Copies of this chain bind each other. A is one copy, B any other.
Amino acid sequence: MCQLLGMNANTPTDVMFSFTGLATRADEHKDGFGIAFFEDPGLRLFVDHQSARQSPVAELVKRFPIHSGNVIAHIRKATQGRVALQNTHPFVRELWGRYWVFAHNGDLKGFEPRLHGSFRPVGDTDSERAFCWLMQELAKAHASVPSIDELSRTLAELLPLPASHGTFNMLLSNGQALWAHATTSLFWLERRHPFGAARLADEDLSVDFGSLTAPTDRAAIVATQPLTCDEPWQAFDKGELRVFVGGQGRRIG
């Protein structure tokens, strides 16, 4: 199993604290990591097939404050597909002149959809195949980029199919919103005024968000397991889809 981290904020925010928390879990999840940062429609993607504990790329991410409104990160323990760069999440495709980023935790058994559209996997994971199918179906459902609400409704219709094939905890973003879907384990948290301090669950590291933020700042975090031990993380229900915009989430359907 892998671990996911997503962030959506109303003000470009760095995720150094949360990524450090995620990276401490990389001992068991040593088969690569990846992190994608949206800056407006632009995108930075860092991937490595080394562990997030050792990778010089992960070191850069922990030290270099990249401010982003939407982030998706993944640390991988290979279950399907070899340890190779082409199998490292998150995956990226372009649709309607926007980049789309996807990361998945879980295994899908026997999900072999027909890919007759313009999206094909480069590697050999079930995750990238599911992402290509999702992109293909989004492209078929809308002629051009729809509203966040319309996209959320379409995703609510599409996601039960791959989810019926196994575990489908996933994060998806187009730089405008972050969608999160859970079947087994995913938690969310909204940080907003008044900001307090938080301590990482796995490492002796605290941060006082009050001194780093403005009162209007808002950020939502989604993770496979709560990353801090003193904040009100909430578990997703089985099959729950949430969309986060401007640091605020709501349940779809």
Residues of A within 8 A of B (CB): 39-49, 56-57, 60, 63-64, 84-88, 92-99, 117-123, 139
Query: Cα distance A93–B99 when bound, in Å?
Result: 10
Determine if A39 and B94 form an interchain contact, defined as CB atoms under 8 angstroms apart.
no
Taken together as a complex, chains A and B put the C-alpha atoms of A122 and B94 apart, in Å, by: 8
The residue in chain B whose Cβ has the minimal distance to the Cβ of A99 is B122
Indicate which residue in B41, B99, B117, B123 contacts A42 across the interface (CB closer than 8 Å). B123
**Chain multiplicity (copies):** 2
Closest to A60 in B: B60
Known: A47-B44, A85-B40. A122 touches B93 (CB 8 A): no
Q: A40-B84, A40-B86, A122-B97 are in contact. Are A56 and B64 (CB under 8 A)?
A: yes
Contact B84 A122 (CB under 8 A): no
Most chain B beta-carbon neighbours within 10 Å: one of A44, A45, A48, A57 = A44
Chain B residues positioned under 8 Å from A40 (CB to CB): 84-86
